[in-house]
Structure 1
Amino acid sequence: MGDRTEAVAEAGKNESTVKLCRRCKNPYNSASNTPSSCRFHPSFFVCRRHDDQKRYYELGPEDPPYAAKFYDCCGAEDPDAVGCRTDFHISYDDN
């Protein structure tokens, strides 16, 4: 997160409308914020049995046999998976 904070600070020197998105945690310029600027997961990364019961999940040695780890919104099993939705960036300053 240090790199992102530095990027926001550096960009802030050049442009006063640069903010940090609270969904994707990336810096953005308010002037170029579009409905497809932010890519994020609208749900949590969970560890539980998947509803369809048909998918194979790679389990760690400490995981119970029924555990599944995935994003509840799209089923992606990698915690670093690219977001499945796009929308405007939302600043920490926004309500």
Structure 2
Amino acid sequence: MEKSEEKQSQKICKRCNKAYDPTSNTSSSCRFHPSFFVCRRHDDQKRYYELGPNDPPYAAKFYDCCGAEDPKASGCTTNFHVSYDDD
């Protein structure tokens, strides 16, 4: 397969935004967070949070799905890649 054909067969995943080959898509190919990165009070008040200078004192920034506090944290869930072309 030529490089141009290979690029055409790749799709972009709408969960992780990475290019992938649909023929090698498995249930562990895509790593993502199924929820949003939020700024609000966390249910678990036993943790400490890094607050920005304009944040209210009760705010916490974290992924709602797993509690990861780093917006660049690796996804907590794996599944098949999902293309923007898929319905």
* Other-structure match for 1:8: none
CA displacement at 1:14 relative to structure 2: 3.1
Considering fraction of residues, name the structure with more helix. 1
* Other-structure match for 1:24: 16
Q: Deviations for 1:50-88, whole angstroms, at most 9, x for unmatched residues?
A: 001111001111110000000000000000000000000
CA RMSD of aligned residues (A): 1.0
Determine if the alignment matches structure 1 residue 14 to structure 2 residue 5: yes
Give the alignment's TM-score, normalised by structure 1: 0.85
1:26 counterpart letter in structure 2? K
Of residues 36-45 and 15-24 in structure 1, the stretch that sits farther from structure 2 once superposed is 15-24
1:29 counterpart letter in structure 2? D
Q: Distance in 1 between matches of 2:44 and 2:14?
A: 31
In structure 1, list runs of 5 or more residues that go unmatched.
1-10
Of residues 49-58 and 24-33 in structure 1, the stretch that sits farther from structure 2 once superposed is 49-58
Give the alignment's TM-score, normalised by structure 2: 0.92
Runs of 4+ in structure 1 off by over 3 angstroms are: none
* Other-structure match for 2:67: 75
Indicate the percent of aligned positions where both proteins have the same amino acid: 74
2:39 to 44, 47, 50: 47
